[in-house]
Amino acid sequence: MSVEAWTTVVVIISFIVYIYIGWQSRVRDTEGFFVADRGVPSLANGAATAADWMSAASFISMAGLISFLGYDGSIYLIGWTGGYVLLALLLAPYLRKFGKYTVPDFVGDRYYSNVARTVAVIAAIFVSLTYVAGQMRGVGLVFSRFLQVTIDQGVIIGMVIVAFFAILGGMKGITWTQVAQYGVLIVAYLIPAIAISTILTGNPIPQLSFSFSNIVERLNGIHQDLGFVPYTQPFANKSMLDVLFFTIALMVGTAGLPHIIVRFYTVPDVKAARWSAGWALLFIAILYTTAPALATFARYNLITNLNNQTVEQVQQLDWTKKWQETKLLAVEDKNNNRTLELTAKSFQLNPKKTPEQVAKNEITIDPDIVVLATPEVAKLPAWLIALVAAGGLAAALSTASGLLLVISSSIAHDVYYRMIDPHASEAKRLFVGRIMVGIAIAIAGYFGINPPGFVAEVVALAFGLAASSFFPVIILGIFDKRANREGAIAGMIVGLLITSAYIIAVKFAGMTPWFGISAEGFGTVGMIFNFIVTLVVSRLTPPPPAEIQMLVDDLRNPEHAPLALADIGEEQLD
Amino acid sequence: MKIDQKTAYWRANTALIRNLLIIWVIVSIGLSILFVEPLNAVKLPGGNVPLGFWIAQQGSIYVFVALIFIYAYRMDKLDRKYLEKESDRIESKSKT
């Protein structure tokens, strides 16, 4: 059977599994729809969080980015994992104790203000919508690359699948499909990595061969021979200051992303929230420690297979032929000396080339090839190559569904129920929730088919805004009893404005970045401003009312196990 | 639970958070970014990888996972300690 036939079979089987799980977890009430009945065990919530978090970008693009950036690619590794420590220690247990439905719920209740709630709703919707458009596009891309459908058809197929389990099962359906999707994506990621690791170093465990074989040393050696900067050389592409700000912005942004935070509302108690954060990061770490190993292997392979080879030799390799067709790889012997020469430019992201360099450049590589072509480079059988397509789809669909639920609950719960019609019946609230998921899917699909030209740019905005809006006010809401309504509203608005102004100025108006801090790193500055403004304004205005201070006290107290409470109650009745 | 006990519980919790976050800052920002260059002069023990680079791309992630599990484990113990005191108090109260 051909790779395409296998891919069709594997993708269809995985979709049947997701639909079956979605049908099994259909729900009848809002508790099930928004927070999965708060009945998700910590281990399962860990796997669901990992799938929710790891998007098409983590699965397909991250290893390629690291491969191109070398040490500087660590910003993604540290940034996207380090944030979980903040989440686990500073946010997740208290938000679970608070025990409502959404992030704006916490902001609105803790700061006793519908203005604060509205600012939070706008930020949550904006962050999630920009993010989900990219996921839908990712679904379309995977379809078009592996199967004979267009990107638009792929987006529509993805929409139908997500719509089925999200509308029927809400958070419950999404959670259990995400658990299955984590399984698919991690297997699809590990098998090719293990195969290529064995071929290059004889050690099947990518992490071990990255750490203890001589592959990194060999790669640095090749770089030296070619006159490149060593692979492990820090700050070759970004300054230390930029790396620092970029990493902090990603860490804090991760901890502030609403679709991740709400996952911790779905576990039974505070204890489970703390443990499931650990499981989540462990499951994420399996992929995130494999990615840098894969990045190293792929760069080694690309250089040794392509550099100083004749065009005929390169064309003989199966994978180069296939990936040239998809435009991820282009080779051309421009100076007609019958061999291909790699330059440092071949490994630059969006290189700005002078016409002279374009005329000389013989090898052009798209970073996505690192993950997508590895199975073929490692000569894996067709059915395993098919698994990578299913893995990419699982990563994109699981993230998309988590984001869609945040958009739905922000409108159905925070706007409709909490602000417009607080007396709405259970059935009506559930109905509005389902309608909102449907509308959100339609909007996300629209942006997937007609992507605004700036998807990559707005993802920076999503992280920056999460870092500069939610993170400081949630932390202060728990750890600073004096933080009040005025402070939080002022802090969020200042953080949002500073961050978006800088990102828009740099990305769209062509402003030269200050001190070399890229737009993606500016969320760090916005976050600092939010902290300062909230702290200062809170102290210049009246303290929060007594019942809010009691709410904060209650968040900080140890939680009674529900069973023990029941026992005490009975004893006292006697 | 009495007020001073609640305060003691919260203090123990924040002290634990503070200690774990100090390690977190040292690993994520200190060793992986600020001091990566001097650390790269050393090799990972048992391997051939520059140490700073290795911490940035592997070691830091392992430390993050460990920190979260340590927090979950220590907080379970802390919870038990304070809730046992609490139920002792209720029992002795109901006996009197």
pLDDT, tens only, A428-454: 888 888 888 889 889 888 888 887 655
Within 8 A of A81 by CB-CB distance, chain B residues are: 60-61, 64
What is the pLDDT, as a whole number, of residue A486?
94
To the nearest 10°, the Cα dihedral for B4, B10, B11, B17? Answer: 170
Within 8 A of B6 by CB-CB distance, chain A residues are: 553, 556-557
Given pLDDT bands bounded at 50, 70 and 90, which one contains residue B50? Answer: very high
Pick the CATH number of A3-300+386-463 from 3.60.21.70, 2.60.40.420, 1.20.1440.230, 1.20.1730.10: 1.20.1730.10
What is the pLDDT, as a whole number, of residue A574?
38
Tokens encoding A286? 């399996």
What is the pLDDT, as a whole number, of residue A535?
96
Please state, in angstroms and rounded to a whole number, the distance separating the CA atoms of residues A287 and A22: 25
pLDDT > 90 fraction of chain A, expressed in percent and rounded: 31
Please state, in angstroms and rounded to a whole number, the distance separating the CA atoms of residues A553 and B6: 9
Please state, in angstroms and rounded to a whole number, the distance separating the CA atoms of residues A334 and A361: 7
Please state, in angstroms and rounded to a whole number, the distance separating the CA atoms of residues A91 and A274: 10
pLDDT tens-digit profile of A26-58? 888 888 888 888 888 989 999 999 999 998 888
pLDDT tens-digit profile of A282-313? 999 999 999 999 999 988 888 888 887 888 77
Given pLDDT bands bounded at 50, 70 and 90, which one contains residue A540? Answer: very high
Please state, in angstroms and rounded to a whole number, the distance separating the CA atoms of residues A495 and A497: 6
List chain B domain ranges: 1-24+49-91
Q: Decide if A217 and B49 are in contact by the 8 Å CB cutoff.
A: yes
Please state, in angstroms and rounded to a whole number, the distance separating the CA atoms of residues B51 and B38: 9
Question: Chain A, 287-316: which have a CB under 8 Å from a chain B CB?
Answer: 288-289, 292
B14 and chain A in contact, CB less than 8 A: yes
Distance from CA of A573 to the nearest CA of B (A): 10
> Which of B58, B64, B76 is nearest residue A82 as measured by Cβ atoms?
B64
Q: Decide if A74 and B21 are in contact by the 8 Å CB cutoff.
A: no
Tokens encoding A94? 């208290």
H helix runs in A307-425, sequence order: 311-316, 318-325, 355-360, 369-377, 382-409
Q: Does position A22 have pLDDT exceeding 60, yes or no?
A: yes
Please state, in angstroms and rounded to a whole number, the distance separating the CA atoms of residues A23 and A552: 39
Q: Average pLDDT, whole number, for chain B?
A: 88
Given pLDDT bands bounded at 50, 70 and 90, which one contains residue A564? Answer: very low
Q: Average pLDDT, whole number, for chain A?
A: 85
Lowest-confidence segment of A19-33, A140-154, A201-215 by average pLDDT? A140-154
Within 8 A of A243 by CB-CB distance, chain B residues are: 33
What is the pLDDT, as a whole number, of residue A216?
87
Name A110's Cβ contacts closer than 8 Å, sequence gap at least 6. A98, A477, A488, A548, A551, A552
Task: Return the closest-CA partner of residue A171 out of A26, A18, A23, A279.
Answer: A26
The DSSP letter of residue A514 is G
Name A257's Cβ contacts closer than 8 Å, sequence gap at least 6. A127, A462, A463, A466
Please state, in angstroms and rounded to a whole number, the distance separating the CA atoms of residues A223 and A568: 69
Name B38's Cβ contacts closer than 8 Å, sequence gap at least 6. B52
Please state, in angstroms and rounded to a whole number, the distance separating the CA atoms of residues A305 and A196: 14
Task: Express the helix, strand and coil content of chain A in percent, nearest 5 each.
Answer: 80, 0, 20
pLDDT tens-digit profile of A494-525? 999 999 888 888 877 778 888 878 888 889 99
What is the pLDDT, as a whole number, of residue A460?
66
The DSSP letter of residue A415 is I
pLDDT > 70 fraction of chain A, expressed in percent and rounded: 94
Which residues, listed in sequence order, are joined to residue B43 by a DSSP beta bridge? Answer: B50
Number of inter-chain CB pairs under 8 A, A vs B: 152
Tokens encoding B35? 């001091």
Distance from CA of B42 to the nearest CA of A (A): 13
**Residue scoring higher pLDDT (B65 or A11):** B65
Distance from CA of A281 to the nearest CA of B (A): 6
Within 8 A of A275 by CB-CB distance, chain B residues are: 69, 72
Q: Does position A74 have pLDDT exceeding 80, yes or no?
A: yes
Within 8 A of B75 by CB-CB distance, chain A residues are: 93, 271, 274
What is the pLDDT, as a whole number, of residue B96?
54
Q: Does position A143 have pLDDT exceeding 60, yes or no?
A: yes
Buried b (16+ CB within 10 A) or exposed e, A547-564: ebeebbeebbebbbeeee
> Which of A207, A278, A289 is nearest residue B68 as measured by Cβ atoms?
A278
B96 and chain A in contact, CB less than 8 A: no
What are the distances in angstroms from CA B71 to CA A40, A78, A267, B12?
21, 19, 17, 12
Nearest 5°: the CA angle A374, A375, A377 is: 60
List chain A domain ranges: 3-300+386-463, 313-376
Task: Return the closest-CA partner of residue A109 out of A521, A526, A557, A550.
Answer: A550
What is the pLDDT, as a whole number, of residue A563?
42
Handedness of CA A454, A457, A461, A467 (dihedral sign): positive
Q: Tell me how crowded residue A513 is: count the other CB atoms within 10 A of its CB.
A: 14
A554 and chain B in contact, CB less than 8 A: no
Distance from CA of B65 to the nearest CA of A (A): 6
> Which of B47, B50, B76 is nearest residue A271 as measured by Cβ atoms?
B76
Tokens encoding A378? 């490692």
What is the pLDDT, as a whole number, of residue A356?
67
Q: Does position A484 have pLDDT exceeding 80, yes or no?
A: yes
What is the pLDDT, as a whole number, of residue B89?
67
Q: Are A182 and A48 in contact (CB under 8 A)?
A: yes
Q: Does position A326 have pLDDT exceeding 80, yes or no?
A: no
What is the pLDDT, as a whole number, of residue A541?
94
Lowest-confidence segment of A462-471, B1-10, B86-95 by average pLDDT? B86-95
B62 and chain A in contact, CB less than 8 A: yes
pLDDT tens-digit profile of B34-45? 998 999 888 888
Within 8 A of B66 by CB-CB distance, chain A residues are: none
Task: Return the closest-CA partner of residue A285 out of B50, B91, B58, B52.
Answer: B58
Would you call A339 helix, strand, or coil by DSSP? strand
What is the pLDDT, as a whole number, of residue A280?
95
pTM of the prediction?
0.90
Tokens encoding A241? 């200051």
Mean pLDDT of B20-32: 95
Q: Are A269 and A96 in contact (CB under 8 A)?
A: yes
Q: Does position A173 have pLDDT exceeding 90, yes or no?
A: no
CA atoms within 13 A on the CB side of A150: 5
Mean pLDDT of A134-150: 78
Q: Tell me how crowded residue B13 is: count the other CB atoms within 10 A of its CB.
A: 20
Chosen from A42, A69, A71, A276 to mutate, greatest number of chain B CBs within 10 A: A71
Mean pLDDT of A223-232: 84
Strand (E) or helix (H) holding A330: strand A329-331
Tokens encoding A181? 């999707």
A240 and chain B in contact, CB less than 8 A: yes
Stated length of chain A? 574
Q: Decide if B60 and A81 are in contact by the 8 Å CB cutoff.
A: yes
Given pLDDT bands bounded at 50, 70 and 90, which one contains residue A530? Answer: very high
